[in-house]
Amino acid sequence: MTVPQQILCISFSDIEADSRVLRQVALLAEAGEVTTLSYGNCPPGSTTHLEIDSALPSLPQTLSGVLRLGLRRHASVELAAPAVKQALALVRGRTFDLIVANEARALPLAHAIAGGTPVWGDMHEWAPEERAHVLPWRLLVKPYMWAICAKYLPRTTAVTAVNASIAALYAEQFGIDTEVVRNAGPYRDLEPSVPVAGKIRLVHSGAAIPGRNLEGTIEAFRALDDRFSLDLYLVKARDGGRYWQQLKELAAGDHRITFHDAVAPDELPATLNKYDVGVFSLPPRTTNHRLMLPNKFFDFVQARLALVFSPSPETARLMHQYDLGAVTEDFSTESLSRTLAALTAEEVERYKANVHRAAQALSSAEDEAVTRGLLTRLLG
């Protein structure tokens, strides 16, 4: 009897709400028995789940940790974050045939556990500027992220990122081969929704966290006429929902704006399918903002929605290639409002039909093939 390969998947996220990691776990489960090490409950595909206390930060945010970050004593804080300490205790005594580190902050832990085991680093986005729009993060954490990338990525057996532009950054800055695994979801057998005469139903889904320009989306919408409605499916952040509540207060008094409970990632395309246009505008305050190709782009495609996005190169390229919707002139609230106001019912239906034709090409099939090839190489 063949003993299954043992795979550890590390993610300092609420794994049940992390659609990229959920897709990853499903593919890992094809190759062996998966132990997940993360915040949140046991996800589908996991054989063993080691839950990290969600109250514990994954960065060294203690007084001594912040001091050492400020002094650039990066090696001394690699395993010092409270969540990392607990993670080390949870995996003590276990051995694995492959370790997957999701995002740069998991690299020191993965290599501390590895002991010669291959490590796959799925960097997702550009780690040195993950939250560089926040001043303390930029001053303290950005240099730390750069240091751990420079130290650990050359030792990492395989590295992936969300798109070609970000993969090229890792190759240029750290001299490593980086493969592309997009945030695309599986193909959904859906049809574009039937239009409602005289109405254009806008929708946005994602995380309710500062820096995503959700205020700008609400403000742009409020300038539109009564043809439009806006529905928001937002995952509350780990701030107890304070920012979500601030957004709701900003939208108060406009009966056309509706806030919904968050929907599980796997249910999102079917839930969004009843709308007409998926909307997202994000000013390029960081490299990741500038080069974004987010989950929601692919969710909107599988939901068969027309798209209105800001002119980020990775999303704009695909939108123009398949004629999926309208790209705003710039990143301003006014430009988003003008672009939405100019939409006609006929254009929306044409875009939705084009999205329907492109849904197979923009599904996760290509990305799953990359992941399966990577696992074959790593596990033999």
Facing residues of 122 across strands?
102, 160
Compute, in degrees rounded to 10, the torsion defined by CA atoms 186, 188, 189, 193: -160
Find the farthest-apart pair of alpha carbons in the chain and give their distance in angstroms, rounded: 67
Cα–Cα distance between 356 and 101 in angstroms, integer? 34
Give the pLDDT score at 152: 98
Give the pLDDT confidence score for residue 132 in this predicted structure: 81
Q: Which residues pair with 309 in a beta bridge?
A: 280, 327
Architecture of domain 200-358: 3-Layer(aba) Sandwich (3.40)
Q: What is the pLDDT of residue 1?
A: 67
Q: Which residue bears the tokens 């776990």?
A: 25
Regions in the chain scoring below 50 on pLDDT: none
Give domain limits for the chain.
6-182+364-379, 200-358
Mean pLDDT of the chain: 95
Q: Which residues does residue 308 pair with via DSSP β-bridges, in sequence order?
A: 279, 326
For 189, counting Cβ atoms within 10 Å of its Cβ (0-12 exposed, 13-18 middle, 19+ buried), the class is: exposed
What is the sign, positive or negative, of the torsion defined by CA atoms of 75, 136, 279, 244?
Answer: positive
The residue type found at 163 is N
Distances in Å between the alpha carbon of 237 and those of 13, 17, 243, 278?
Answer: 11, 11, 8, 21
CATH topology of domain 6-182+364-379: Rossmann fold (3.40.50)
- Label residue 345 exposed, middle or buried (CB < 10 Å: 0-12, 13-18, 19+): middle
**Rounded to whole angstroms, how far apart are CA atoms 288 and 23?**
21
Whole-structure pTM value = 0.89
- CA angle, residues 317, 323, 324, in degrees to nearest 5: 90
Domains 6-182+364-379 and 200-358 belong to one CATH topology: yes
Copy the structure tokens of residue 337: 């409002």
> In angstroms, rounded to a whole number, what is the distance separating the alpha carbons of residues 125 and 137?
16
Q: How far is the C-alpha of 127 from the C-alpha of 147, rounded, in Å?
A: 11
